[in-house]
Structure 1
Amino acid sequence: MRNKNKKTKIVATLGPSINSKSKLKKVLDEGVNVLRINFSHAIHDDVKNTINLIRDLNSTYHYNAAILADLQGPKIRIGKVKDDYTVKKGDIISFKTGDQFIADKNEFYMSYSNFAKDVKVGEKILIDDGKLIFEVTRTDKKNTVHAKSIL
C-alpha cells in the first residue's frame, strides 16, 4: 500500500510517449504521483480519455495520482509559412480567417474564426511565443486584421 500522505510530489507530463494504460501504470509504479496534461496542444477527446484512464488506474490499483491541468489553453495558430518568408520590423501584415492558405507576401492565415471580431486597434499579437510582436492597426470585424510588426 502506498503512503497517500506523501508530501513530495513527482510530476510527469503526459504526451505521446505516455499515452496508454500500460505506460501510465508503469510511471505510477515508478513513483509518479502527479500527471500533468498540457492543454496547449490538447484535443478534447484525448484529454477526456486520458483522465478516464488515470481515474480507472487510481480505482483499480489504489493509486492516489493527481491530475495537473496546465490551463494555458489552446493557442491560436497561424497557417503554414513559406520557408523563405521573413517579417521585418515595420512590415504591415494581414491576418485572415476563412479558407486556409500558405503565407505569402504579407498575409497569414489565422485559425481562430472570430479573430477579426475580437481584437481591437492597438492590441498586441504575439507570434511564436513572443518572438514576433505585431500591433493591430485595423480590423474589418469580419475576417481580416491588419497589424504592424514592432519586433
Structure 2
Amino acid sequence: MAPEYAMEGIFSVKSDIFSFGVLMLEIVTGRKNNSFYHVDEPLNLVGYAWDLWNKNAALELIDPMLSDSSIQQEVLRCIQVGLLCVEDCAVDRPTMSDVISMLIDDNIALPMPKKPAFVSRIGVAEENSNKSKLGKYSVNGLSISAMDAR
C-alpha cells in the first residue's frame, strides 16, 4: 500500500505505481513483500531490496530460478525500476508510461532510486527500552483506563 494512502488516505495514479513496484520486486525475488519477519532483517521486501541495492549486492535478491547469468542485467534493471516505483514521495515515482519505456528500451538511462517508503524498523533493544520507560502505558504514551459501573 502506498505511503500516502496508508498515512493520509490520499489515493492517486502514483499509488498504483507503488503497488506495481512491490509486485516487480516480488516477481524478481520469488518472495512476498511480507515474508520478512527476522529481527535482523528489514521490515519487508522493499527494505531488504533497498539495503542490498545500497550495498551493491542487488544480485542476491534474484530468485534462484532466474539466476541464469545471461539475464542478470535485465533483472537488475527490473530491480532498479521496482525501487524507483516504491520511492517514498509520490512525486518522485515514475508514471506507468515511463515504467514501460524503462523496461522496453535498454538505452534509457535510469535515475538512481531514492529511499523507499516503509524501510525502517525500531530495533529490538530500542523497543524494549521504550517499553520499560512507558511502564503500563501504551506505545503512544496514553494511559489505559478501566471503567467500572457505579
On whether the aligned pair clears a TM of 0.5, the verdict is: no
Q: TM-score range by the shorter chain?
A: under 0.3
Q: TM-score, normalising length from structure 1?
A: 0.27
RCO comparison, higher one (Cα < 8 Å, 6+) = 2
Structure number having the greater helix percentage = 2
Q: TM-score, normalising length from structure 2?
A: 0.27
